[in-house]
Amino acid sequence: MLNKMKKLVLILAVGGVCSLTTCTSDVYSPDACFTEDVLPIFVSNCAFSGCHDAVSHEEGYDLTTYEGIMKGITPKHPQQSEIYREISGANPSMPESPYPKLSKKDLNTIKIWIKMGAPNSSNCRLCDTVDFTYSTRVKKTMDTWCVGCHTGASAGAGLDLTTYTGVAAAVTGNRLVGSLNHTAGFSPMPKNAGKISQCDIDAIERWVNAGYPNN
């Protein structure tokens, strides 16, 4: 009985320390990579025509580049960063209607990156040259870079890339691959921003060449 009481006291003591120190803090993660994780959030959700793309520069912010994003970021201090304040909180002012607000996951990724010092990090993970299935590779790329513009009734070019049917429709006429490669004659995607990684483009091309299965 005495040993059980000692264990209970120890558990309560550890819990109390956690509540007062770092256990409730955001955990720094090597996955908070600028090029692979942070930039796609801004490009997909904020860099629309007339807003914060490379052409419009609404309010002076081009959110398609590291330099443009850093104009509104104070490294290590999310709440001192104008951009973060605009996209977070109970009633965030950005993205503007009708576009959806950022998810908690995306906000946390940006917050962690800022706390890390907002580094211009890239190539944080090795290129996967094996996986080119729809469910684990193609859809993830679409969700990361494209669905901010291509979703629901107001989907850009009428293509809802949140579903397999929509992505498959984009394959016809070589539109998907041509747009991702920024090939002449196709609308470059992401719009008014740089190309996604060649690794992801190669995976999508392999999926298309395999008959773009719903796998």
Q: pLDDT band at residue 58, thresholds of 50, 70 and 90?
A: low
Domain ranges of the chain: 34-115, 134-209
Amino acid at 85: R
| Cα 22 to chain centroid, rounded | 26
Residues 11-49 pLDDT 10s? 444 444 443 333 444 554 556 899 999 999 988 887 665
pLDDT at 16: 45
CA dihedral 105, 138, 178, 193 (to 10 degrees): 10
What is the per-residue burial (b if ≥16 Cβ within 10 Å, else e) of 21-33?
Answer: eeeeeeeeeeebb
* DSSP state string for 59-96: GG--TTSHHHHHTT--TT-GGG-HHHHHH-SSS---SP
